[in-house]
Amino acid sequence: MRFFQHRVRQAIAPALVAIAACVGGAAFADAYPSKPIKMVVPFPPGGGFDAIARPFAEKLGGVLGQAVVVENRAGAGGNIGAESVARSAGDGYTLLLGNDNLATNPNVYRNIKYDSLKDFVPLGMVATIPIAIAVNPNVKATTLPELLALSRTMPLNYGTPGIGTSPHLLAEMVSFSNKAKFVHIPYRGTGLAITDAIGGQIEMVVAPASAVAPHIRSGKLRGVVVLSGERSPLLPNLPAVSETGLKGIEYDIWYALFAPAATPEPVVRKLRDATRVAIAQPGFAENLRELGIQVKPGQTTNITELLKTDLARWKAVVDRTPIVAD
């Protein structure tokens, strides 16, 4: 009889632990959040990341009833900030506003210390930014097919925000798949690449459309294409790559909110609901649209599947053209 009772206790113990965890998690979620939340931005203040992070943090804090404080933790192409969140307590009080670097960096950095798929749980898509190709006005090409044809007669130097960024990898994809001769010139930031393209030190720049748009409008650069499936409201006269006949090139830089993987499911659900409500708040999408940043309230993108797709996409590019970032 004693043996039987022992076996029964062994059988039901896991179920009791699971029930206790669920009850405890639900109670924690009911009280969450009870203090300010830290949202890590893995790049320096003042850039495109901050243009999204700070208004989003304000809206998210309003929905949750607690301040959401932006903390810039820059370094190693975004890896330092991402790692700090991956290693933080999964209590819902440290979040990551990540972007597609979570897909590019694992393919180009040697000793990355987090797993983009295993160490984070996605909470919601926040915004996207299209990537554009713009050239110095002296370059004798006005369309992407013309630019590709020109590059087969002479190498064209192109600038990007840096080695292993999505503009760099996307340009390499375009170059390889079309037998073009694009020569990558990496910069420490988009602004420097744009300055050299305007000055004629390089023929073209591949960068977020929001960064090149003012210079295209002023005539200092000539827009060639937006590497998206649809035209950008910021550059409505610039064709999308889907209009050029090229297939499999469409891509947008994306920004999404993540929590550490150990975050309790009830807290994850609350944060996912809050994210959807926050990006739908009046003025949020409209204000970012003026900067060329696109927000689609109610979007239901499966971020995990998107991340898997992008990891595979960029691995294929790096396998063809070995790229290693410091």
The predicted-structure confidence for 26-59, as pLDDT tens digits, reads as follows: 665 688 999 999 999 999 887 788 999 999 999 9
- CA-based angle 239:299:190, to the nearest 5? 50
What number does CATH give the domain 130-243? Answer: 3.40.190.10
What pLDDT digit, counting tens, does each position of 88-121 carry?
999 999 999 999 999 999 999 988 999 999 999 9
CB 175, CB 182: distance < 8 Å: yes
pTM: 0.87
What pLDDT score was predicted for residue 17?
41
Of 121, 100, 102, 120, whose CA–CA distance to 112 is shortest?
102
Q: How confident is the model at residue 19 (pLDDT cuts 50, 70, 90)?
A: low
What is the amino acid identity at position 324?
V
Same fold, 28-129+253-320 and 130-243: yes
Helices (H), the chain: 2-31, 48-64, 79-86, 101-108, 144-151, 166-177, 190-199, 209-218, 265-279, 284-289, 303-320
End-to-end CA distance of the chain: 66
pLDDT higher than 80, residue 300:
no
Residues 6+ apart with CB under 8 A from 271: 92, 95, 123, 124, 257, 259, 263
Least confident window among 62-71, 225-234, 254-263, 288-297: 288-297
Any idea where the domains of the chain sit in the sequence?
28-129+253-320, 130-243
* pLDDT (mean) for 208-234: 95
Report pLDDT digits (tens) over 112-152: 999 999 999 999 999 999 999 999 999 999 999 999 999 99
Name the CATH code of domain 28-129+253-320 (choices 3.40.190.150, 3.40.1550.10, 3.40.50.300, 3.50.50.60). Answer: 3.40.190.150
Contact 109, 79 (CB under 8 A): yes
Q: State which amino acid sits at residue 130.
A: P
